[in-house]
Amino acid sequence: MKHVVKNVVKNVVKNVEKQSMSARSQLPNAESRFPNSVHHSMNAIETHQLHRRFRRTVAVKALDLAIPQGIIYGLIGPDGAGKTTTLRMLAGVLKPSSGQARVLGQDVVRDPEALRPHLGYMPQHFSLYGDLSVLENLRFFAEIYGVPRKERAARIQRLLRFAQLEAFAQRPAAKLSGGMKKKLGLACALVHSPRILLLDEPTNGVDPVSRREFWDILGELYLQGVTILITTPYMDEAERCNLVGLMFQGTIIQQGEPEALRRLAPGELLVLYAPDLLRVEQLLARFPDILSLQVYGDRLHLFVADAQASRPRLEAFLRERGVAFTALYQDEPRLEEAFVHLIRQAQARQAAA
């Protein structure tokens, strides 16, 4: 099987290499065309009224994005919000139904080949050659992206070290752990030193240690000036981004810095610790100050309009009913709570329309 895959790879490489050489010959020097401006003088990614329809289903609707150069932009949203479809269109692998999308000033529909040397795309699902080793996969993608032969060995070695895969260079990709597969996918997307990275839920299903290591790598890339657009289901990862866009039913309903988005949670947050959370939860359902409440492990998160005013009333309410509690204090809302609130708001507007 392995020799069959390698023969297919060679044929693909020859065809793609010809196309890549032709495209590169028409391009000015990459550094002069796309200077890495730390002042974000040019948006790395822009969309205007971008639509994508699959028969009767509208996956992306009137999407307007403006992502500055050199930042990490997190795209979050519920399943089916259109995140994956958006990344596929920006990567040039899916044609929009209408609207415009530009990456580094290039129209992704008119000239996707011109973007190939500057764009790295890592899809959500493992898409490498499982029968090839880690090293062979990297060599294959180096050829696909037209990395000069004299630079390949050093660049691949650097990526193996960067992704902590040196000890696994000869292991077949199919036999890697989930976290290692993600790192290999990222390394292959980086082999041509792209200026833009599109990552579709790259840490989904990965253990916490591998997730942290993956984000350490992304942090290094950010410091090098690479623009990263990442979709993620994890709110703690969204907190690491410079900007976050909340996507719902195909469009962005809210965007901002994580700190600003946290402030959009309803009211102010009180955190309550008590031995019998179930009884407390049932009692507080009748407490008039509560806007919303939710159990978080060994504590309750209570949203009220005015935490300073509600706290003494809440303490008195619980003591009058003989309910023990160990702590009650005000805290900052989490991004997840703001996210849930904004989605519920959007659903309510939709139901009322």
> Lowest-confidence range among 60-74, 115-129, 267-281?
115-129
Domain presence at residue 113: yes
Same domain, yes or no, for 278 and 242? no
DSSP string of 307-350, one letter each residue? HHHHHHHHHHHHHHTT---SEEEEEPPPHHHHHHHHHHHHHHHH
Domain presence at residue 338: no
pLDDT at residue 115, as a whole number: 87
Q: Which residue has the higher pLDDT, 91 or 19?
A: 91
Instruction: State what percent of residues in the chain have pLDDT above 90.
Output: 67
pLDDT per position as a tens digit, 227-265: 999 999 899 999 999 999 999 999 999 999 999 999 998
Specify the residue for token string 């309903």.
253
DSSP class of residue 118 equals G
Same domain, yes or no, for 56 and 40? yes
CA distance 99 to 27: 25
Domain presence at residue 353: no
Structural domain ending residue among the three candidates 246, 261, 276: 261
Same domain, yes or no, for 245 and 300? no
Please state the φ and ψ torsions of residue 67, each to the nearest 5 degrees. -110, 115
Same domain, yes or no, for 270 and 253? no
Domain presence at residue 350: no
CATH number of the domain residue 305 falls in:
3.30.70.270
Across 13-28, average pLDDT = 37
Domain presence at residue 7: yes
- Identify the band that residue 34 occupies on the pLDDT scale cut at 50, 70 and 90: very low
Same domain, yes or no, for 201 and 275? no
Q: Which residue has the higher pLDDT, 16 or 196?
A: 196
Same domain, yes or no, for 239 and 281? no
User: Are the C-beta atoms of residues 197 and 122 closer than 8 Å to each other?
Assistant: yes
Structural domain ending residue among the three candidates 235, 261, 287: 261
Domain presence at residue 285: yes
Q: Could you tell me the CA-to-CA distances from 216 to 85, 163, 220, 237 in Å, in that order?
A: 27, 10, 6, 12
Same domain, yes or no, for 275 and 237? no
Instruction: State what percent of residues in the chain have pLDDT above 70.
Output: 88
Number of neighbours of residue 169 by Cβ within 10 angstroms: 14
Tokens of 243: 């900007």
Whether 20 shows a pLDDT value over 70: the answer reads no
pLDDT at residue 296, as a whole number: 87
Same domain, yes or no, for 130 and 208? yes
- How many domains, the chain? 2
DSSP class of residue 238 equals H
pLDDT at residue 25, as a whole number: 33
Mean pLDDT score of the chain: 86
Residue type, 223: L
CATH number of the domain residue 244 falls in:
3.40.50.300
pLDDT per position as a tens digit, 103-142: 999 999 988 888 888 999 999 887 888 999 999 999 999 9
Across 308-334, average pLDDT = 94
Q: Domain span at residue 87?
A: 2-261
pLDDT per position as a tens digit, 190-211: 999 999 999 999 998 888 888 8
User: Are the C-beta atoms of residues 229 and 199 closer than 8 Å to each other?
Assistant: yes
pLDDT at residue 37, as a whole number: 38
Same domain, yes or no, for 171 and 289? no
Whether 349 shows a pLDDT value over 70: the answer reads yes
Domain presence at residue 18: yes
Domain presence at residue 341: no
Same domain, yes or no, for 120 and 37? yes
Same domain, yes or no, for 188 and 311? no
Whether 35 shows a pLDDT value over 70: the answer reads no
User: Are the C-beta atoms of residues 300 and 271 closer than 8 Å to each other?
Assistant: yes
Same domain, yes or no, for 193 and 228? yes
> Lowest-confidence range among 4-8, 51-55, 322-326?
4-8
Structural domain ending residue among the three candidates 261, 284, 300: 261
Across 267-287, average pLDDT = 92
